[in-house]
Structure 1
Amino acid sequence: MRIKIFNIDLNSIKEAQKLMPKSSIRKVDLIRSNTFSEICCNNIFLKLECYQKTGSFKVRGAATMIERLSDQEKRNGVVAASAGNHAQGVAYASSMNKMACTIVMPKNASPAKIAATKSYGANVILEGNNYDESSDYAYKVARLEGKTLIPAFDHPDIIAGQGTVGLEILEDLREIDEIYVPIGGGGLIAGTAIAVKSMNPKIKVIGVESVAYPSMKQSIKMGKICNIQNGYTIADGISVKSPGRLTFELIKKYVDDVVVVDDLSIVKTMFLLMERSKIVTEPAGAASLAYIISNRQHLSKHKNIVSILSGGNVDMYLLGQVVAKGLMQTGRMIKLFIELRDRPGELKNIVDEIAKANVNIVEVVHDRLSSNISAGTAGVYLSLELENREQSHVLIKLFDKHKIKYKLIE
């Protein structure tokens, strides 16, 4: 693999910033959120990389590496393996340079992400059942066709490009106490930490991983690269089994701590971002803010805290689930199961009681045939929209008063 920058420092990140075409890379906003500041009793600032070109910070590193290619390397083209944001970043940066680009994606990659990658002019090859198998094939393509492999995170050019996020944060806000950054392979936090610590060593930089894939946290604890074999998280952008060797060394040196967050916190945060701030993120993109919110009681008060929202490329079907689960978590939707005698008027009586509580019925599923439904009865599943948790208490009191048997479904 070609490595042109052996030293990754503040100067190399500043050089990357100069290299980036202004038409290709946005300087995205750093905003103070009143909502999350009030929730966390701190000044919470959001770095909106979810509004970056291609919907993710990944294009920064890809553009930096591609800009540094020789003329011959550009003529030969590039190849990368990715199931998501890196694919789109490499494809977009290649199209800006009018270069041939091949992206290897797993066979089970999201059709939406495949279509988005193709829309930037990339030749997409579906090979392998997971990222590791796709990556092996990409190496093979690079070797046989003479293309330059653009890695997702473990390369000096990539890290320098991602580090421009840190430069921009400091350009917009000088007084900072802590910066929280999602960690997958570690390119974003490595670059950001180098930039930030080089300019102000007092600022704490904290990485956030999924509790299902704490590969960087575990590696730092053990003092060596660790591999997480099994896990599941909706935050696929940070579900990395093993961190990069280069990013591992840099994070050990520059990052103050690595913490973890669960999917439940991520879902709630995505929902709050949409409802309160009108910001759509992908699960990995919301991870750093999710950790801040879920651990707000342990934070010191009245600090300036930055959360990097790293991406916004969320699958629309998942987004629908996030909305539904977010409503349930905030007490504004409940699901009930009620077993009724199978005779006319029984369901109407239930509906009338729900109407008295001024509750909206979102969905009704009527079931007579399941084995858990007794003969002569009918089961009814109800999804109900509420104003708040208190309204559900009113509804339940009505059910109890009229001796309506129900079961809350979590």
Structure 2
Amino acid sequence: MTERLSPVPPRHILAAARRLERSGLVRRTPTEQSRPLSARLGADVYQKLEIFQPTGSFKPRGSANKILRLRDEEPDAFRRGFVAASAGNHGLGVSHAASALGARATLVVPRTVSPAKLEALWRYPVELIVSVGNYDVAEAEGRKLAKERGLVFISPYNDPDVIAGAGTVGLEVLEDLSEVDAILVPVGGGGLIAGIALWVKAVAPRVRIIGVQSDAYPAMQASLAAGQLVTAADKPSLADGLAGNIEAGSITFDLCRRFVDDVVLVTEEEIAEAIRYFVREEQLLVEGSGAVGAAALLAGKIDPGRLGTARPKIVDVVTGRNIAEARLRDIMAMPAAPAPPAD
């Protein structure tokens, strides 16, 4: 059913996995058990560590898959070049793939872009434009620029090739672990969770796919609750990579309605606590967008006891590490949040 009805058939995810493996542009990241979280929760908690990708996040999977496919199948489009709008990580993914393959790329980033991500973007041979507005404004500017110049716009989420590339995360998880009860996925525009859900529901439909967003910018969660796309307020968030509304007509919304089991929200304080947890307990550097799954687990937003097995196996997709030094320093200096009450 997934193959017949989806704009991104599972075979496209398998093709993306093969394409990316041949290219060498992305890494097969480890899926490792977190002993601290497993001990706390009475479950087997694993982390899919996308922080070890070359750009520090999962984003090259989608952008590289898009650029590689166009190079092989639509060479005229490849030669003209690409435009992307990004809060940082998607831009780094596009820059990484474009520079490695000799393609031209223009990036539009919001005025609120993380200094760490902006500094990393400057290292690539790309045209970089800092928008005067937020992410939604930057995305509109990027699409306008692509149309004016006749270039290919690479959406960070609303693109079948990007979704297929992101879906390779789910493919690797199920290859690494024989049994999985739930996969936690950070959600912004929905490209990552849509790709993972498409593959997982086709191969292991009983696995629950649970999205996690900050309550500062709950665009997908609010839209799913309303049954239609709604606009979320523009609030600052430690999970800056998940900020932004979902563009009208995005294929990710319908895919999430059909294949995602739930989306939960975490507070900014809970995200900060999760970032501190990763540093102190796991010795890992994780940005806010990548820490939301752990935030949900630590705050008791997901009950392992309701996953249907005595000791469930949970995978948290840890999506990125690109956090500014000053922000990390401030977060580490904040007082720890109180632990949730015991049942």
The TM-score with structure 1 as length reference comes to 0.76
Whichever of the two has the greater Rg, that structure is 1
Aligned length: 325
Cα RMSD after superposing both structures: 1.8
The residue aligned with 2:118 is 114
Instruction: After TM superposition, give the deviation of residue 109 of structure 1 in Å.
Output: 2.9
Residue 266 of structure 1 aligns with an amino acid whose one-letter code is I
The residue aligned with 1:376 is none
The residue aligned with 2:324 is 315
Tell me which of 239, 242, 253 is aligned to 2:243: 239
SS class of match (1:329): coil
Structure 2: how far apart are the matches of 1:114 and 1:289?
A: 26
The residue aligned with 1:329 is 336
Instruction: After TM superposition, give the deviation of residue 52 of structure 1 in Å.
Output: 1.2
* 1:342-371 alpha-carbon deviations (Å, 9 max, x no partner): xxxxxxxxxxxxxxxxxxxxxxxxxxxxxx
Q: Structure 1 residues 304, 110: CA separation in 2 closer, same or farther (over 3 Å shift)?
A: closer
Tell me which of 287, 297, 306 is aligned to 1:292: 297
Moved more, 288-297 or 259-268: 288-297
Q: Structure 1 residues 122, 210: CA separation in 2 closer, same or farther (over 3 Å shift)?
A: same
* 1:170-219 alpha-carbon deviations (Å, 9 max, x no partner): 01001111111010000000000011111000101101111122211111
Moved more, 121-130 or 197-206: 121-130
Structure 1: how far apart are the matches of 2:239 and 2:110?
A: 17
Specify every segment of 5 or more residues in structure 2 that has no aligned partner in the other structure, as ranges: 1-5, 339-343
The residue aligned with 1:62 is 63
Instruction: After TM superposition, give the deviation of residue 235 of structure 1 in Å.
Output: 1.0
Structure 2: how far apart are the matches of 1:139 and 1:150?
A: 9
- 1:9 aligns to 2:9 (yes or no): yes
Instruction: After TM superposition, give the deviation of residue 117 of structure 1 in Å.
Output: 1.2
Structure 2: how far apart are the matches of 1:184 and 1:243?
A: 11
Instruction: After TM superposition, give the deviation of residue 288 of structure 1 in Å.
Output: 0.9
* 1:71-99 alpha-carbon deviations (Å, 9 max, x no partner): 11111111111121011000111011111
Q: Structure 1 residues 107, 205: CA separation in 2 closer, same or farther (over 3 Å shift)?
A: closer
Q: Is the 8 A contact 2:278 2:284 kept in 1?
A: yes
The residue aligned with 1:159 is 163
Q: Is the 8 A contact 1:180 1:206 kept in 2?
A: yes
Q: Structure 1 residues 267, 243: CA separation in 2 closer, same or farther (over 3 Å shift)?
A: farther
Structure 1: how far apart are the matches of 2:111 and 2:223?
A: 29
Structure 1: how far apart are the matches of 2:96 and 2:128?
A: 13
Structure 2: how far apart are the matches of 1:287 and 1:176?
A: 19
Q: Is the 8 A contact 2:269 2:337 kept in 1?
A: no
Instruction: After TM superposition, give the deviation of residue 296 of structure 1 in Å.
Output: 6.6
The residue aligned with 2:83 is 79
The residue aligned with 1:196 is 200
Instruction: After TM superposition, give the deviation of residue 236 of structure 1 in Å.
Output: 0.8
Please state which structure has a larger fraction of its residues in strand: 1
The TM-score with structure 2 as length reference comes to 0.90
The 5-angstrom pairing of residues 90-169 of structure 1 reads 90-169=94-173
Instruction: After TM superposition, give the deviation of residue 127 of structure 1 in Å.
Output: 2.8
The residue aligned with 2:41 is 40
The residue aligned with 1:271 is 276
Structure 2: how far apart are the matches of 1:210 and 1:242?
A: 15
- What percent identity do the matched residue pairs reach? 36
Q: Structure 1 residues 240, 107: CA separation in 2 closer, same or farther (over 3 Å shift)?
A: closer
Q: Is the 8 A contact 1:187 1:247 kept in 2?
A: yes
The residue aligned with 2:260 is 255
Specify every segment of 5 or more residues in structure 1 that has no aligned partner in the other structure, as ranges: 1-5, 332-410
Q: Structure 1 residues 298, 112: CA separation in 2 closer, same or farther (over 3 Å shift)?
A: closer
**Relative contact order, CA 8 A, sep 6+: which one is greater?**
2
Moved over 4 A (4+): none
Structure 2: how far apart are the matches of 1:254 and 1:109?
A: 31
Q: Is the 8 A contact 1:41 1:302 kept in 2?
A: yes
